[in-house]
Amino acid sequence: MQKYILRRIVQALPTLLGITFIVYFIMLLVPGDPVSLLAFDPTLRQDERDRLARQLGVNDPFILQYLRWLIGDDWMMVDTNADGEVDAWGDNYGILRGDFGTSFKFRGSNPLTLIAERLGATIELNIAVLLVGLTSGITIGVLAAVSRGGWFDKSTRVLAVVGDSVPAFWLGLMVLVFFGIALPRDILEPMGIGNGSPLLPMGGRCPPVRGGCPPIFLRIHFLILPTAVSAFGVIAVWSRYMRASMLETINADFMRTARAKGLNHSQVWFRHGLRNAILPFAVFLGPTFVGLLGGSVIIERIFTWPGVGLLTFDALVSRDYPMVMANVMIASVLTVLGYILSDILYAIFDPRVRF
């Protein structure tokens, strides 16, 4: 297995390099430029704008910008103006040296440092989504399979189609409208319940307090809405696949043997059937977590959750190339590791698999 993991990692290197090249090229094609967004000042002279563009290096050709981001810029000649002053220093950064440069928007800040500060919030949200999504999706899938053709099975199939079709951004906005406006003002207040204020926080990770956020059990209500919206799609997908896998397992010989031994239904379904039906889902576990990280950009923006997704959105809006590319690299590496993890888990769950 060690040789297999090493081979997969070596094979992933050209993939990661290709991803960075394509994303960097697409990013430069987006209308707008960092100088216009950073120096939004109508009184700023054109020569000052040009100087800022030279310092950021955004006026250089695409391939030059990409190589500088990839391997550093100490091999380039230093730009000087007419007075002999340096306009652009060779900072010797480059991702192959472990340095992602300096953020355009957060001047003087390393992108990896900014991402590390927000990573805890994103992981916290995604772990909550995984726990809720996988637990609910697997349970619903098993119950739908054992009650095939019944009202519960039919309703969960409709739920799966809806959950797989509804965009997360639309569902998040509708949840904010319902819990923030319709429920407290139009439903509960006429009944004499509440004072018209939202029952749950409409955004943020915790109340604005000095010293950071309190422990999670004191602010669990801040997780309810973003977790529910993000987990809805996970529940839909996993319940549908779990139902199909359970239907293949439920009529197997060992299941009939378990029922003949006098075991109750929960032991037959969850102890014997689930253990075998869940094996194929080892392939989806790694990509599911990576997909949640990608979807965090939407969920965190809607609910103003201070994680990596919100930071990525702000970087995209401000054309912060170093920050965007740092997020792309981290997401790409996590994607590759997620698929490798899925293969490893599949081998652990099913001893018949050999690499």
CATH architecture designation of domain 111-349: Orthogonal Bundle (1.10)
- Residue 134, pLDDT > 90, answer no
- What's the confidence (pLDDT) of residue 138? 87
- 59 by Cβ neighbours in 10 Å (0-12 / 13-18 / 19+) ranks as middle
Render pLDDT for 291-322 as a digit per residue (tens, 0 to 9): 776 668 888 899 999 888 888 888 888 778 78
CA–CA gap between residue 308 and residue 123 (Å, rounded): 9
Quick check: 91 pLDDT over 70? Answer: no
At residue 222, the pLDDT reads 92
Domain ranges of the chain: 2-97, 111-349
Structure tokens at 329: 């690299």
Q: Is the per-residue pLDDT at 32 higher than 80?
A: no
DSSP string, 92-148: --BGGGTB----SSSTT--HHHHHHHHHHHHHHHHHHHHHHHHHHHHHHHHHHHHTT
What does pLDDT average to over the chain?
79
> Residue with structure tokens 């390393």?
110
Q: What average pLDDT does the segment 320-331 reach?
A: 83
Share of the chain above pLDDT 90, in %: 7
Selected residue with higher pLDDT from 41 and 188: 188
Supply the Cα-derived Rg of the chain in whole angstroms. Answer: 26
What integer pLDDT is reported at residue 288 of this predicted model? 72
Higher pLDDT, 160 or 338: 160
Please write the tens of the pLDDT for every residue from 206-258.
887 777 788 888 889 999 999 999 999 889 988 888 888 888 888 777 877 87
How many Å separate Cα 146 from the centre of its chain?
A: 33
Per-residue pLDDT band for 174 (boundaries 50, 70, 90) equals: very high
